Amino acid sequence: MAASRLYLDWNATAPLHPAAREAVLRALDLFGNPNSVHGEGRATRAAIEAARRQVAVLTGAEPAHVVFTSGATEAANMVLTPEFRMGRTPLSVSHLYVSAIEHPALREGGRFERDRVSEIPVTFDGVVDLAALEALLAAHDKATGLPMVAIMLANNETGILQPVQAAAQIVHAHGGIMVVDAVQAIGRIPLDINEIGADFLIVSSHKIGGPKGAGALVSRGEILMPKPLIHGGGQEKGHRSGTENSLAVIGFGAAAAAASDEFQSRNATVLALRDRLEAGMRQAAPDVIIHGSDQPRVPNSTFFTLPGLKAETGQIAFDLEGVALSAGSACSAGKLGESHVLVAMGRDPQLGALRISLGFATTDEDIDRALLAFTKIAGRRKLASVAA
């Protein structure tokens, strides 16, 4: 019998959490339209509102400030817009400043024209350059409209935590709007929208063990809101029209509740597993480069380079060993290429890098298997270099 495969690509997507699976199965019987006033509709609405509360708890927000979307990409496109309202008053945002290491959903600039998007550089250590951000905002022409800044809380490749709280203070001092992509941070580090100073958070269901097809834009309040991206029947209090994807939303809520309940034990276990993994990697291949290992990171991510091994070759080699990991971000429809994160950090993009990311179901035995595969691949790399 063939050995089961080992899944170590949790930053791309997490397997469905058992609690989310159970919630979705129960929700299959909630067939009423959540916007109908009859009993069947009210039952579905109640389940969606329970999910809203569960996501709010995990993000430190008020339930009324959680707007469900089809995913993080839609939430990004919703909030990255020049058109806002402060209550009923139109508000213009004239320029978007986005960090060089952002996910493509934000780097593309949403609804901003390309000439109204500027990049915030990062340091060699992979951390947003706050002095550069200060300089960019100091040069911003406020007469044209407000600045908006988008910075991720945890990088999806390196796992490095970004100084979003300090960035938010700079942004607000210049009268700007702070958007934080918390997709890779939610459930992995303490998260409170008010404490970090974000005006908006972007979160995703399937990164924490919920179903694909659900995400949310979380705001600090309801006065400042973007112009809706999707118009129609005025669902989600007019912020996002379209009948809610009740199955995915309810599963999202269950996954968020599980992440809240299991937070301490889950992340302590994952951190210990990652530390053992990285120690074993260094022992098997002393020349391995673990990017960001000297920076604060989410506890589950390892982004590494084996000199002499191309990322694409390494990904295939691990796959043949039955180990699923990724060559950087899984955000470009399966395409492989240079890591824009390594480029932004000033590293040689030809090095390439592989990402291992762990999750709530990862075990000690999984780490043993991963290290066995790593040792074999690193050894073959050395043999190949000697033969050459």
Residues labelled catalytic: 331
- Backbone φ/ψ region at 92: left (φ over 0), alpha (ψ -120 to 50), beta: beta
128 secondary structure, DSSP code: B
Q: 270: which 2 tokens?
A: 């994952």
> Which secondary structure element, helix H or strand E, spans residue 146, and what is its range?
strand 146-152
Nearest-angstrom CA–CA distance, 361 and 346 = 35
Query: 70, 77 in Cβ contact below 8 A?
Result: no
Is residue 24 within 8 Å of 211, Cβ to Cβ? Answer: yes
**Nearest Cα residue to 185 out of 328, 301, 325, 278:** 301
CA trace torsion 185, 187, 192, 195 (10° rounding) = -50
What does the alpha-carbon distance between residue 104 and residue 340 come to, in Å, rounded to a whole number? 10
Do residues 321 and 374 lie in contact, with contact meaning Cβ atoms separated by under 8 Å? no
Q: What is the CA radius of gyration of the chain?
A: 22
Residue of 43, 127, 38 whose CA lies nearest to 345: 127
Torsion of CA 188, 189, 195, 201, to 10 degrees: -20
User: What's the distance, CA 321 to chain centroid?
Assistant: 27
DSSP codes joined into one string, 214-277? -EEEEES-SSEEEPPSS-SS-TGGGTS-S---HHHHHHHHHHHHHHHHTHHHHHHHHHHHHHHH
In sequence order, which ranges of the chain are alpha helices (DSSP H)?
18-27, 39-59, 72-79, 104-107, 130-138, 164-173, 193-196, 246-261, 263-284, 311-320, 340-344, 364-387
